[in-house]
């Protein structure tokens, strides 16, 4: 279970975010269909809990029965979990565990978000004259991937390097532009030994994001064990078994 995401959803619903946090959250909802779907199912759980435990006396009685569940399923090192309606989050955990089939697609398949780490782009030191590339870097690092795509496309007209192609492909993955993203990573895979395994990893993530688990596994099995992040490759392969 992704407790941090549930806490984020709860913060949004309870209006506990700053203006900037709220803007970022709503942007992710608009751009990430999987994230939006999980938010909708969380709201469904919230409604169910409100219907079941709307009365204070019942809620307090239920809280006592959930203490042990809360301890098992929420990280004690994160004080926000304790401070933010612990009975409520524990109740959500129990619903997922005991009745999750009614609300969540709770299965053994891994989530794209658990393996998606777009990182940071740093072109400035190597190119201080290409304004499009500098703008692409700024947009990418601000997680404004749609904006970054436009700048990358302009930069690639004069500066088609594997590095620029790679971050362009990552931006396409983040915005779910699968066809264009696959074309970029397939070209990198064939033309750049340095970026071959990185391209394969992102092709696998692209399949994972689309819940094409069979294709994801097939691509992962082609990644060299010399790949710098092969531990994560193996972890995802194990999760897919």
Q: What pLDDT does 78 receive?
A: 46
Q: Which domains does the chain carry? A: 3-102 (no CATH), 112-240 (1.25.40.10)
Q: How would you class 195 by CB atoms within 10 Å of its CB: exposed for 0-12, middle for 13-18, buried for 19 or more?
A: buried
Question: For residue 137, what are its two tokens?
Answer: 């870097």
Q: What pLDDT does 123 receive?
A: 79
- Rounded alpha-carbon distances, angstroms, from residue 153 to 139, 140, 159, 160, 226: 13, 13, 10, 9, 31
Q: d(Cα 207, Cα 230) in Å, to the nearest integer?
A: 18
Q: d(Cα 186, Cα 119) in Å, to the nearest integer?
A: 20
Q: d(Cα 237, Cα 137) in Å, to the nearest integer?
A: 31
Full pLDDT tens readout for the chain, 241 residues: 466 777 888 888 888 888 888 898 889 888 888 888 888 888 877 776 666 555 455 555 555 555 555 555 555 444 444 444 554 555 555 555 544 544 444 456 899 999 999 999 987 555 445 789 999 999 999 999 999 999 999 999 988 899 999 999 999 999 999 999 999 999 999 999 999 999 999 999 999 999 999 999 999 999 999 999 999 999 999 999 8
Q: Is the pTM of this model over 0.85?
A: no
User: Is residue 233 a contact partner of residue 220, using CB atoms and an 8 Å limit?
Assistant: yes
């Amino acid at each position: 279970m992704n407790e941090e995401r549930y806490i984020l959803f709860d913060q949004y619903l309870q209006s506990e975010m700053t203006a900037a946090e709220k803007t970022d959250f709503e942007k992710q909802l608009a751009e990430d269909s999987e994230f939006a779907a999980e938010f909708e199912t969380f709201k469904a759980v919230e409604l169910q809990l409100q219907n079941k435990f709307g009365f204070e006396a019942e809620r307090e009685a239920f809280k006592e029965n959930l203490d042990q569940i809360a301890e098992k399923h929420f990280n004690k090192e994160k004080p926000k979990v304790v401070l933010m309606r612990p009975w409520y989050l524990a109740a959500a955990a129990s619903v997922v565990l005991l009745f999750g089939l009614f609300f969540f697609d709770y299965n053994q398949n891994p989530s794209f978000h658990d393996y998606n780490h777009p990182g940071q782009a740093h072109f400035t030191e190597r190119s201080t004259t290409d304004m499009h590339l500098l703008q692409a870097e700024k947009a990418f690092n601000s997680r404004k991937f749609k904006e970054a795509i436009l700048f990358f496309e302009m930069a690639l007209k004069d500066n088609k390097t594997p590095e620029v192609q790679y971050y362009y492909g990552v931006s396409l993955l983040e915005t779910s532009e699968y066809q264009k993203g696959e074309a970029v990573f397939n070209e990198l895979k064939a033309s750049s030994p340095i970026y071959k395994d990185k391209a394969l990893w992102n092709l696998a993530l692209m399949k994972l994001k689309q819940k094409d688990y069979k294709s994801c596994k097939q691509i992962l099995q082609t990644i060299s064990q010399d790949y710098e992040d092969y531990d994560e490759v193996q972890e995802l392969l194990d999760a897919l078994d």
